[in-house]
């Protein structure tokens, strides 16, 4: 049951990993298809001032539109994000110029009369040489320091970190992770985010955050949403019609005007209204309409409130027109006013949002085009709960109609809302069919109070009904709206065609993200349609089920860091289980076989049961004990364990190749002198290396060197067959056993260090890129703590020359075995490593540091070399 179990674990892990990767491959397009038009612009970027050796500043000029001289304008600073460029500012800057100027050098009539208030914008773009700021907190801090002397991605973090500042009037960010850093490989990023959270809580500077939704595969939108416990004004992107990719965010034609419209608050009111924060203007309308009866009114329709029981709301749909100052970007002259003529005060008026108007039987959004700025339907609703139904009526006045737009208005009833008792558990392996109210209604509601709304689960909805060719001419074909929380709404055309997939998803609540406000329970679907008899039977029911492909894809994109960190924990457990009380350890294949046959079954059960414990979201997998996600932990543990086994197989091949190459290069094999203590030259070399780390290179470079040296030591340290045979006497037998145990220990340490490499590799990539872009003379701030790599350096060096056992028995082992240090390190990896991966490296470094100090220390630096043995 040894090798067979190992092979079984690896095979299961590979199958699960492939399934997750395939599910995540086209996840963005399946959840939220992108519909953006490319911005085509004539540009000119001129270097404004170098300001520093590492970074620079550029000024954007729209060729043929912007004046070459700078003055009498408002400065705007664009800060790119991770691996971003100053050239990403071109689309937004071009849109700003073409809004202010109607033609080259001619100010638009909207601004010509008030040039003392509205001024052109001069766009300055910071050039960070495409530094990888998402992976390195110190690089992010360097960008903050430089910028302090419209922001994209991590550039928004840089901008927000500059607050409070009297020089910043507002901040507009695109795909900026506010609540959770995308890569958490050092504690400096955590400190920066902690400070930014305090700033968002207390600073009153207006911030506009534009998020890409599910289409953004680099920055999960749950981390882009501004903290909801913020006390100052914050605007969140809601009711969007299409997702936007992370890189596409800076050139999407529909977003460029939104980011820089001349009236910030007006645009936010117009485009981002969702009915939960902005004030209504119904009071003025009501006062106007309650004048004396003798006054003349131009009323198109008078609609009495039905006297029957069950009337709930008044709904009005307006296409391409204006109502209550809300309209598409380029509206028609059509204008509609709603008047309350008598009766009590209205109970509630929803702030009118814009909803899309998809073309029947056409894809939405239109691929590579999206929705035109003039498209859109204004939704106006009034709750009627407290109205005097016997005397109330509404007046709807339509002005400047030219036959191009349309207006629909009607009253909604209780029977327009359906509540289904279906639960998420019942949908795991099947679906449920819910009938849509069959009468004519502009707005129907389907409620699923028992369904779990979470970022880690997605539902598939399909319409069913009778097809009717006449529905192609419907005024407003059925439109499904899914509002998962006040910050997020998705729209889908509701048809009975299977080619138009509807996948319901949300970005809150989410793993590792806490909120002081309670989240909405259940799933609510709104169906809007013209309600005509022609389309009444086209879609009369919906089928809802769990979309397993999208759900697995969501798991894959949120837990890749956990997989790496849990692999470190798995290796630590392999060492813990294999290390006996005498300090002996078997070869790695034996340890992995034991781990696979005994521990996996126990750990799978333990990890599954631990998922039910309501831990804070910063611990474990961040699910706060949600039972439906308990299976995620065993899945990740299986994948991590299988990857550990597979990586050892790769290392075995690499070790054999290294041993063969070293045998060819060094034909006369000479083992390094076996010593009883370190030489003076080695101590001097280590001291010089520590000084180089302290002043010039990050400690991650030294760790990579330690791994290479450990790979070589492990390859050449395994005894030859002649050494492994029967010993001539007891002394030679003990020496052979010691060398074998040292070789086994070297293998385990190599496997452990190999899985620590992914935790330091991002910092190495940042350092290499800094050398390539800014030059070798540019200082690399941070990561100069040589203590982090000292235990590895001493251990690798000591293992390369000692003739005795690497680890001698320490005094504290009379009470507890040293192997419990690895159990503690594994616990850190499993409990907090997913949120803070760098703590896993710290835990291993501390464990090895204790072993080096207590089990090696006195032999490493105690006295000069005693003898040399040549073999």
Q: What is the pLDDT of residue 419?
A: 86
Tokens found for residue 773: 């872009």
pLDDT tens track for 407-447: 888 887 777 788 888 888 888 888 888 887 755 678 888 88
pLDDT band at 779 (very low <50, low <70, confident <90, very high): low
Q: Tell me the average pLDDT across 581-586.
A: 80
pLDDT band at 337 (very low <50, low <70, confident <90, very high): confident
d(CA 353, CA 274) in angstroms, rounded, equals 6
Q: What is the pLDDT of residue 653?
A: 93
The full 3-state SS of 61-129, as one line of letters, equals EECCCCCCCCCCCEEEEEECCCCCCHHHHHHHHHHHHHHHEEECCEECHHHHCCCCCCCCEEEEEEECC
At residue 121, what are phi and psi to the nearest 5 degrees?
Answer: -105, 130
pLDDT tens track for 351-377: 556 777 777 666 676 665 666 656 778
Pairwise pLDDT comparison (471 vs 107), residue with the higher score = 107
Q: What is the mean pLDDT of the chain?
A: 74
Q: What is the pLDDT of residue 764?
A: 83
Q: What is the pLDDT of residue 342?
A: 56
- In this model, does residue 545 exceed pLDDT 80? yes
pTM exceeding 0.85 = no
pLDDT tens track for 93-140: 777 777 777 777 677 776 666 666 677 777 778 877 777 777 776 777
Lowest mean pLDDT among 314-328, 512-526, 730-744: 730-744
Q: What is the pLDDT of residue 532?
A: 53
Q: Do 263 and 250 touch, CB atoms closer than 8 A?
A: no
- In this model, does residue 823 exceed pLDDT 90? yes
Q: How crowded is residue 248: how many other Cβ atoms within 10 Å of its Cβ?
A: 18
Q: What is the pLDDT of residue 736?
A: 65
* Residue 565: closest CA among 783, 223, 785, 825: 825
Tokens found for residue 468: 């009717």
Angle at 719 between CA 718 and CA 723, to 5 degrees: 170
Do the strands 56-62 and 43-49 form a parallel or antiparallel pair, or are they unpaired? Answer: antiparallel
d(CA 470, CA 532) in angstroms, rounded, equals 11
- In this model, does residue 282 exceed pLDDT 70? no
d(CA 121, CA 136) in angstroms, rounded, equals 32
Helix (H, G, I), strand (E, B) or coil at 585: coil
- In this model, does residue 348 exceed pLDDT 50? no
Q: What percent of the chain has pLDDT over 70?
A: 69
Q: Tell me the average pLDDT across 524-543.
A: 71
Domains belonging to the chain, first-starting first, are: 3-16+559-860 (no CATH), 43-272 (3.40.50.1820), 279-416 (no CATH), 420-550 (2.60.120)
d(CA 414, CA 315) in angstroms, rounded, equals 13
Pairwise pLDDT comparison (238 vs 32), residue with the higher score = 32
- In this model, does residue 325 exceed pLDDT 60? yes
Q: What is the pLDDT of residue 824?
A: 95
Q: What is the pLDDT of residue 867?
A: 43
Q: Tell me the average pLDDT across 451-463.
A: 88
């Amino acid at each position: 049951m040894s090798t067979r179990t190992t092979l079984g674990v690896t095979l299961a892990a590979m199958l699960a990993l492939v399934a997750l990767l395939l599910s995540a491959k086209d996840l963005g397009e399946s959840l939220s298809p992108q519909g953006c038009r490319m911005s085509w612009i004539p540009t000119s970027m001129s270097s404004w001032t170098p300001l520093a050796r590492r970074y620079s500043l550029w000024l954007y000029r729209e060729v043929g539109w912007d004046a070459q001289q700078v003055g009498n304008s408002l400065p705007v600073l664009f800060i790119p994000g991770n691996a971003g460029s100053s050239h990403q500012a071109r689309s937004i800057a071009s849109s700003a110029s073409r809004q202010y100027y109607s033609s080259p050098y001619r100010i638009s009539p909207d601004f010509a009369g008030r040039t003392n208030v509205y001024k052109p914008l001069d766009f300055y773009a910071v050039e960070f040489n495409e530094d990888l700021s998402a992976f390195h907190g110190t690089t992010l801090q360097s960008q903050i320091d430089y910028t302090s002397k419209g922001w994209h991605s991590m550039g928004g973090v840089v901008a927000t970190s500059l607050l409070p500042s009297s020089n910043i009037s507002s901040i507009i960010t695109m795909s900026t992770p506010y609540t959770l850093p995308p890569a958490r490989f050092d504690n400096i990023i955590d400190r920066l985010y902690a400070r930014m959270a305090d700033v968002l809580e207390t600073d009153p500077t207006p911030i506009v955050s534009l998020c890409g939704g599910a289409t953004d595969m680099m920055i999960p939108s749950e981390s882009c949403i501004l903290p909801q416990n913020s006390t100052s004004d914050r605007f969140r992107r809601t009711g969007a019609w299409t997702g936007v990719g992370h890189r596409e965010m800076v050139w999407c034609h529909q977003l460029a005007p939104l980011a820089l419209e001349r009236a910030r608050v007006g645009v936010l009111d117009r485009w981002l209204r969702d009915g939960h924060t902005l004030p209504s203007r119904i009071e003025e309308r009501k006062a106007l309409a309650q004048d004396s009866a003798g006054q003349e009114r131009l009323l198109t329709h008078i609609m009495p409130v039905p006297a029957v029981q069950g009337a709930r709301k008044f709904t009005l749909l307006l296409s391409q027109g204006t109502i209550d100052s809300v309209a598409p970007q380029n509206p028609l002259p059509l204008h509609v006013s709603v008047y309350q003529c008598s009766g009590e005060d209205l109970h509630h008026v929803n702030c009118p949002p814009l909803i899309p108007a998809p073309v029947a039987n056409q894809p939405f959004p239109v691929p590579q085009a999206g929705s035109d700025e003039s498209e859109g339907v204004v939704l106006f609703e009034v709750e009627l709960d407290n109205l005097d139904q016997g005397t109330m009526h509404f007046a709807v006045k339509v002005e400047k109609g030219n036959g191009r737009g349309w207006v629909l208005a009607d009253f909604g009833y209780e029977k327009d809302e359906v509540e289904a008792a279906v639960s998420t558990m019942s949908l795991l392996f099947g679906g449920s069919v819910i009938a849509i109210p069959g009468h004519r209604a502009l707005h129907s509601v389907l409620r699923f109070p028992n369904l779990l709304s979470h970022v880690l689960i997605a539902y598939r909805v399909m319409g069913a009904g009778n097809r009717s060719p006449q529905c192609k001419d419907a005024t407003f074909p059925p439109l499904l709206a899914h509002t998962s929380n006040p910050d997020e709404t998705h729209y889908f055309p509701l048809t009975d065609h299977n080619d138009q997939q509807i996948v319901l998803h949300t970005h809150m609540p989410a793993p590792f993200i806490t909120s002081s406000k309670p989240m909405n329970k259940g799933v609510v679907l709104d169906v809007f349609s013209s309600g005509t008899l022609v389309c009444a039977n086209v879609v009369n029911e919906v089928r809802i089920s769990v979309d397993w492909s999208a759900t697995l894809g969501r798991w894959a994109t949120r837990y890749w860091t956990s997989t790496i960190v849990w692999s470190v924990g798995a290796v630590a457990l392999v060492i813990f289980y294999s290390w006996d009380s005498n300090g002996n350890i078997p070869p790695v294949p034996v340890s992995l076989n034991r781990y696979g046959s005994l521990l996996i079954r126990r750990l799978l059960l333990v990890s599954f049961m631990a998922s039910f414990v309501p831990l804070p979201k910063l611990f474990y997998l961040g699910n706060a004990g949600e039972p439906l996600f308990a299976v995620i932990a065993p899945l990740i543990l299986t994948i991590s364990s299988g990857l550990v086994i597979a990586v050892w197989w790769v290392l075995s091949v690499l070790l054999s190749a290294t041993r063969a190459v070293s045998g060819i290069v060094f034909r006369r094999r000479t083992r390094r002198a076996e010593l009883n203590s370190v030489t003076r030259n080695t101590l001097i070399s280590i001291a010089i290396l520590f000084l180089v780390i302290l002043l010039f290179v990050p400690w991650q470079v030294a760790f990579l060197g330690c791994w290479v040296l450990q790979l070589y030591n492990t390859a050449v340290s395994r005894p030859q067959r002649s050494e492994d045979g029967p010993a001539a006497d007891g002394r030679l037998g003990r020496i052979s056993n010691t060398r074998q145990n040292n070789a086994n220990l070297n293998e385990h340490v190599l496997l452990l260090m190999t899985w620590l490499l992914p935790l330091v590799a991002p910092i190495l990539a940042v350092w290499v890129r800094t050398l390539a872009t800014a030059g070798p003379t540019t200082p690399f701030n941070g990561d100069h703590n040589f203590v982090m790599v000292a235990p590895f350096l001493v251990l690798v060096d000591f293992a390369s020359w000692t003739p005795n056992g690497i680890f001698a028995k320490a005094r504290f082992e009379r009470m507890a075995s040293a192997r419990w240090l690895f159990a503690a390190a594994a616990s850190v990896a499993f409990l907090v490593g997913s949120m803070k991966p760098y703590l896993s490296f710290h835990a291993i470094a501390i464990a090895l540091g204790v072993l080096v100090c207590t089990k090696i220390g006195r032999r490493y630096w105690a006295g000069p070399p005693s003898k040399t043995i040549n073999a």
